[in-house]
Amino acid sequence: MDSGNNDIRLLALFPGDRYQPIRGIMANLSLDNEIAYDALSYAWDPPKDSKRVFFPNSYLLIRENLHWALVHLRDPTYPRYLWINALCINQSDNDEESAQIQRMRSIYARASRIVIWLGLPMSNSDLGIDVVNNKDLFRPLYDTGEENVFNFGNRIEIHNMGLTQRESIALFKLVERSWWTRIWSLQEVAVSKQDPIITCGNKSAPWGAFATITKQAAEAEASLPFGLWQGATIQKLRNTCDFVLIREQMQENALTMSLGALLRRTVDLNSTDPRDKIYALLGLAHAGHLDPLLPDYSKSPKHIFIETMRHVLLDERRLDSLSFIPISKRPKAKPSEGLPSWVTDWTIQSTQTQPLWHPGLYNAAKENPARIIPSEDPDTLCQEGLHLDTVSIGSDVIMTKINWHNQSDIAELIKAIERLDEMLKQIVKELSTSINPVTDPDVWQRTQSLDPDPHISDVNLDR
C-alpha cells in the first residue's frame, strides 16, 4: 500500500455462523472515493494472539477479543466490510503505521457506522443493554414532586430514574468494561458522524440512548446510599460521561480543548503503546502547530513525551503543566526511565500518584505569559524568570493517600503536620522582617496563597 496516497485497507468479512472459522479478504481502497464500511472500536485485551483469520493464501493471528467481535458481527448471508486497526494496518511497518494513524480521524469520521464492541456477555450485560434500550424502565418522579426517594424493597428509586438494584448493577457493569479505559476509544467515538452502535455479545444499543442514561446515572450517583456502589465504579461512570460530553462538543464543533487540556482530562485512560497517549488525542486537539507531533513510530516514547511537553508549554504560554508532574517517584518502567524532571510521564494514572496541579488555584504571574527559550539540549528546558529569593526551607511531602484504619499512617501524618507547622512559624517570623502582609497583601496572596479571581477559581479565600 502506498503510504503517500489516501489509501486504506478494508476487511471483507465473509458470511458464516459462530461455529465456522473466520474468513475474509483484504482490499486496498482510497478515502478520496465514496466507500461504505463500518469501523470497529474495541479493546485489544488480552495481549496473547491466539486465534486465526483465514485469507485465500494465508492467515493472521489475532487476539481473542477481536475474534469474538468478528464472530458476533459477521452477517450470516452477505460479506461485511470493516476497518479494523489490528488487521488493516501492518503493525510491523513503522512507516505504514505512522501514515495510517495520521488518517485515523478521517477513517472513523467517514465510516458508515462505528461499532463499539464491549466484549462477550457477562455480569448481566444483556439486562444492562435492555435497560438502555427500554425507556419504559425509567419512572420519572416529577409527578409526585419527590426527589432522591429510596425504597429498599423491590426497587430503588434514584433521582429521576427508577431501576431495580439488579438493573442498576447491570448498567454499571457495562461502564466497567475495558473499552472505556482505552485512549483511542475517545477519538473513535467523538468524530463519528453517525450515532455509534454499542454491542455486547448479541445485544446492541444506540450511543445516544446510552449517553442519556449515563448522564442521568451520573447525576443520580450523588444521591446513592453510602456503600451501594464502589468508589472505583463511580469514577468510571464519570469517565464515561467525559466520553459523552466530548463527543457532544465535537459534533457541535464546540470542542476547543488544547492538547494539554486533553492530556490532563484523559490521564486515566490507557494505551498499549505509550506513544498513543499523545497520538490518540491529536485528532481532537484544537490548537495548531501540531506538525512536530505527527505520529512517527520510529521515535522513542521519551522523544515523543519531551516534544509534547515542550509543545504544551509553548502553546498554553503557562507553566501549569509543570505542576501536573507527579510528586511521587516515577515507577521504574518505560518510558519514565530517562525522562527529564520537567516532562510529565502521561502513562502514570491519577490513581497511582497525585499531581500538585489544579486549574486556577495559582496565578502569581497574573497576565504575564511564560517565555520558553530555545535550547540546544532537548532534555533541558530554558525559561525566562525573575530572581526573587532563595529557598532556604522546604517541608516534607504531605501524604495524599491515607489508610485511616492504619495507626502508622495516622502517626506519620501527624508528624508531617507538626513539622509543617514549625516551618510555617519560621517563615512567618522571617517574613515579618522583610514583607509586611498588611502593606503588601498582593505579594503574599499571589505567591503564597490562592488566586482571588473568581473567574479562574471558585475557592473562597475568606474561609
Give the pLDDT band (50/70/90) at residue 355.
low
For helices 183-190 and 231-251, angle between their N-to-C axes, nearest 10 degrees:
40
pLDDT attached to residue 388: 74
Q: Show the DSSP H helices in 285-397 as ranges.
A: 301-316
DSSP for 241-292? HHHHHHHHHHHTT-----HHHHHHHTTT-B-SSTTHHHHTTTTT---S--GG
For helices 165-175 and 231-251, angle between their N-to-C axes, nearest 10 degrees:
60
**What share of residues in the chain are helix, strand, coil (percent, to 5)?**
35, 15, 50
Q: Show the DSSP H helices in 33-152 as ranges.
A: 64-73, 85-88, 94-101, 104-110, 125-133
Give the pLDDT band (50/70/90) at residue 196.
very high
CA pair distance 314, 219, nearest whole angstrom:
37
Phi, psi of 370 (to 5 degrees): -70, 140
Say yes or no to pLDDT of 363 above 80. no
Three-class DSSP category at 152? coil
CA dihedral 331, 335, 338, 343 (to 10 degrees): -90
Percent of all residues in the chain with a pLDDT value above 90, rounded to a whole number? 37
Q: Rounded to the nearest 5 degrees, what angle is found at the Cα of 52, between the Cα atoms of 49 and 56?
A: 140
pLDDT digits 0-9 by tens, 262-298: 998 888 898 989 999 999 999 998 766 677 788 999 9
pLDDT attached to residue 433: 63
pLDDT digits 0-9 by tens, 217-241: 666 655 554 344 445 566 677 778 8
CB atoms within 10 A of CB 400: 11
CA pair distance 30, 282, nearest whole angstrom:
22
CA pair distance 441, 225, nearest whole angstrom:
45
pLDDT digits 0-9 by tens, 4-53: 678 999 999 999 988 899 999 999 999 999 899 999 999 987 777 689 99
- Top mean pLDDT of 119-123, 387-391, 446-450 is at 119-123
CA pair distance 6, 26, nearest whole angstrom:
16
CB atoms within 10 A of CB 342: 17
Three-class DSSP category at 3? coil
Q: Give the pTM.
A: 0.77
pLDDT digits 0-9 by tens, 59-103: 999 999 999 999 999 999 999 999 999 999 998 899 999 999 999
Nearest to 45 by CA among 60, 61, 64: 64
Say yes or no to pLDDT of 141 above 70. no
